[in-house]
Amino acid sequence: MPVRIALATGVSCCLGLATYAGTRVEVDDRSEPSAEAVAERAALADERASRSLERTAPATPISPTP
């Protein structure tokens, strides 16, 4: 029984460390987004704007009445 507990503890510890090391993000990576990420965000914003239901009517020219 103690062997099983020790084995389970060791496996879970190793998996936890591997997961932490694999998902850890460096501070430098978060400070500046890549050019691809910036372009993707701009494309998404353009797409959302083109699908927007809020449309502004063009200004109606006021003409003098005769």
| DSSP state at residue 7 | H
pLDDT given for residue 30 in this prediction? 56
pLDDT given for residue 24 in this prediction? 57
pLDDT, one tens digit per residue, over 2-32 is 666 665 666 555 556 556 655 555 555 556 6
Q: How far apart are CA 24 and CA 26, in angstroms?
A: 7
pLDDT, one tens digit per residue, over 39-54 is 899 988 888 877 666 6
Q: Where are the domains of the chain?
A: 2-46
Instruction: Give the pTM.
Output: 0.32
Tokens of 13: 């510890």
